[in-house]
């Protein structure tokens, strides 16, 4: 505990010095430019370095390599973001069931649902079980880094979003699109981590969307965050405001993107030593227990993770940790009055989620703690089950990449989907 306090103090001083230096050097005026550079995507180099091929293949390529037919769709949100939504066609002739929408988490993409490979990727398993699988990418990640008017490399306002906008704009656009194409009245929803937060936002800010959801299955849900156990986000949350101001003024409104150096380094390190370095990173941030995700899956998955988000997304989570509430982005007193007409950012009212919900959690998940999930589940009016995976080491990513996910989690998902469809 002493150590944590010391690290905290040091981090604070570091950030304050940086912010002061930065703001000072700009004469008190925040820079409006973005740092924009691109590491060239070199498959030849990655091949030569002996990367697992699946590390650098994209969604479409992975699908066809493993024998699945995929489609690529483009969905435009009401506020102009251009999203890529993939589809994995069902392996069955008849398609009598409602489509399934899979929503990825923070720093992630559509690929999270298939990087574990043919036997362990839930995207593939659902297609084998006759489901029509739709996999969106939220605004800002590598597949959805486009806008009808804004340029992500030049316009700071492209990055003015958090999960609030994912839920308020991206998801409704995807749901409506899928309903229009498939001619089915409803979709099933599966979300992981921030993909569950997005769901809570949609179904509370736009409660009419509950009528378009047949069933939702939420893996490692994130809403209330007062009890998260992960030390790094907890520490950073103390300086949410400074951190965001610093990042934005330094030109980093886009964070940890696929074309940035951090991705390149992490991807490389995980190839040479997935078990040591990448496992440790995951352990330090999510509570991950060594050996519960296959080394190859980790190496491949880290080639697809860190695909870009906004500084505001991180700041919004920081606000939730500090405020101990589940609320819309706090824009400050004036900003709140302008945006919401209230001095405080309004809370998301999860009592409005009338569609049926299944929650799946793990005991050792440092980002989605059982206490916080209990706060959430006690308020959900139509909760079918709050399922705790009976494996004490279960953590945040075991749901999607874990070697035991096909044993503990996927049968449950398929069973519920069959029952409701």
Ligand X SMILES: *[C@@H]1O[C@H](CO)[C@@H](O)[C@H](O)[C@H]1NC(C)=O
- Summarize as ranges the residues that interact with ligand X (CB under 6 A): 58, 60-61, 72, 84, 143, 157, 160, 331, 335, 339, 349, 351-352
Least distance in Å: CB of 357 to ligand X?
Answer: 15
Which one of 365, 369, 372, 377 is the catalytic residue?
Answer: 365
Which one of 304, 396, 397, 399 is the catalytic residue?
Answer: 396
Look up 193 and say whether it is catalytic.
yes
Structure tokens at 154: 């030049």
Q: Which is nearer to ligand X, 72 or 382 (CB)?
A: 72
Structure tokens at 360: 């799946």
Least distance in Å: CB of 252 to ligand X?
Answer: 15
Least distance in Å: CB of 146 to ligand X?
Answer: 11
Least distance in Å: CB of 179 to ligand X?
Answer: 23
Q: Which is nearer to ligand X, 71 or 331 (CB)?
A: 331
Q: Which is nearer to ligand X, 296 or 339 (CB)?
A: 339
Which one of 144, 193, 249, 307 is the catalytic residue?
Answer: 193
Q: Which is nearer to ligand X, 131 or 161 (CB)?
A: 161
What are 116-121's contacts with CB under 8 Å, separation 24+? Answer: 116/294, 116/297, 116/301, 116/400, 116/401, 116/405, 117/54, 117/66, 117/297, 117/300, 118/66, 118/67, 119/406, 120/297, 120/401, 120/403, 120/405, 120/406, 121/66
Q: Which is nearer to ligand X, 25 or 349 (CB)?
A: 349
Dihedrals phi, psi of 297, to nearest 5 degrees: -60, -40
Least distance in Å: CB of 84 to ligand X?
Answer: 6
Least distance in Å: CB of 404 to ligand X?
Answer: 31
Q: In angstroms, rounded to a whole number, what is the distance separating the alpha carbons of residues 113 and 301?
A: 10
Q: Which residues of 352-380 are buried (b: 16+ CB within 10 A; e: fewer)?
A: ebebbbbbbbbebbbbbbeebbebbbeeb
**Whole-number Cα distances in Å, 259 to 141, 174, 191, 281, 313:** 10, 25, 25, 20, 19
Dihedrals phi, psi of 194, to nearest 5 degrees: -60, -25
Look up 73 and say whether it is catalytic.
no
Q: Which is nearer to ligand X, 41 or 415 (CB)?
A: 41
Look up 54 and say whether it is catalytic.
no
Neighbouring CB atoms inside 10 A of 239's CB total: 20
* Residues, the chain: 421
Q: In angstroms, rounded to a whole number, what is the distance separating the alpha carbons of residues 344 and 327?
A: 9
Which residues participate in catalysis according to the annotation?
193, 365, 396
């Amino acid at each position: 505990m002493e150590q944590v306090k010391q690290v905290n103090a040091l981090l604070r001083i570091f950030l304050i010095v940086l912010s002061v230096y930065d703001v000072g050097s700009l004469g008190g005026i925040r820079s409006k430019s973005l740092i924009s550079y691109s590491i060239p995507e070199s498959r030849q180099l990655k091949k030569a370095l002996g990367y697992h091929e699946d590390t650098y293949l994209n969604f479409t390529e992975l699908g066809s390599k493993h024998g699945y037919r995929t489609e690529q769709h483009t969905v435009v949100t009401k506020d102009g973001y251009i999203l890529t939504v993939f589809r994995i066609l069902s392996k069955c002739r008849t398609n009598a069931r409602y489509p399934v929408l899979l929503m990825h988490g923070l720093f992630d993409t559509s690929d999270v649902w298939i990087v574990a490979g043919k036997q362990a990727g839930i995207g593939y398993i659902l297609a084998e079980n006759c489901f029509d699988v739709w996999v969106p990418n939220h605004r800002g990640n590598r597949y959805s880094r486009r806008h009808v008017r804004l340029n992500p490399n030049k316009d700071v306002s492209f990055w003015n979003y958090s999960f609030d906008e994912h839920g308020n704009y991206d998801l409704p656009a995807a749901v409506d699109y899928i309903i229009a194409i498939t001619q089915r009245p409803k979709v099933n929803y599966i979300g992981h981590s921030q993909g569950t937060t997005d769901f809570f936002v949609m179904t509370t800010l736009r409660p009419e969307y509950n009528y378009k959801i047949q069933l939702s299955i939420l893996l490692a849900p994130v809403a209330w965050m007062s009890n998260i156990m992960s030390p790094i986000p907890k520490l950073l949350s103390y300086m949410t405001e400074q951190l965001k101001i610093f990042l934005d003024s330094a030109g980093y409104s886009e964070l940890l993107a696929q074309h940035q150096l951090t991705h390149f380094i992490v991807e490389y390190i995980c190839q040479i030593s997935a078990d040591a370095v990448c496992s440790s990173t995951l352990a330090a941030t999510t509570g991950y227990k060594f050996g519960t995700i296959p080394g190859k899956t980790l190496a491949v998955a880290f080639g697809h993770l860190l695909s870009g988000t906004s500084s505001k997304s991180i700041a919004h989570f920081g606000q939730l940790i500090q405020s101990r509430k589940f609320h819309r982005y706090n824009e400050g007193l004036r900003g709140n009055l302008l945006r919401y007409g209230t001095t405080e950012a309004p809370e998301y009212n999860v009592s409005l989620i009338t569609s049926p919900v299944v929650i799946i959690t793990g005991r050792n998940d440092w980002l989605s703690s059982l206490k916080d999930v209990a706060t959430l589940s006690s308020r959900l009016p139509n909760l079918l089950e709050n399922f705790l995976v009976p494996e004490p080491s279960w953590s945040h990513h075991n749901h999607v990449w874990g070697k035991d996910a096909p044993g503990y989690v996927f049968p449950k998902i398929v069973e519920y989907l069959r029952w409701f469809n």
